[in-house]
Copies of this chain bind each other. A is one copy, B any other.
Amino acid sequence: MKIAIIGMGSVGRGILEMIDGKDLGLSVTGLADSKSGLMDKDGIHIDEVLAAKRERGYCGDKSLSAIDIVEQADYDILVEVTPTDAKTGEPAMEFMKKAIGRGKNVVTSNKGPIALHYAKLQSLARKHQVGVRYEATVGGAIPVMHTLQHGLAGNRVLAVFGILNGTCNFILTRMAAEGLTYPQALLEAREMGYAEADPTYDVKGIDAAIKLVILSNTIWKRNVKLEDIEITGIDMLTTDALRLAEDQHCTIRLIAEAVPDRGILRVAPQILPKNHPLVVEGTLNALTIETDMAGEITLIGKGAGSKETASAVIGDILFIRDTHARGH
Q: Which residue of B lies closest to A26 (CB)?
A: B154
Known: A22-B154, A293-B310, A327-B327. 19 other contacts (CB 8 A): A141-B293, A141-B297, A143-B147, A143-B150, A146-B150, A147-B151, A150-B322, A152-B311, A153-B315, A155-B311, A155-B315, A275-B275, A277-B277, A291-B311, A293-B307, A293-B311, A294-B301, A295-B301, A298-B298
Interface size of A by CB at 8 A reads: 49
B294, A150: Cβ atoms closer than 8 Å? no
Partner of A298, one of B152, B300, B307, B314: B300
Give 5 nearest A-B pairs by CB, closest first.
A327-B327, A143-B151, A141-B294, A293-B311, A146-B151
Interface string of A263-296 (1 = CB under 8 A from B): 0000000000011010110000000000101111
* A interface, CB within 8 angstroms of B: 18, 22, 24, 135, 141-143, 146-147, 150-156, 274-275, 277, 279-280, 291, 293-302, 305, 307-308, 310-312, 314-315, 317-319, 322-324, 326-328
Interface of A is mostly: mixed
Residue of B with least CB distance to A291: B311
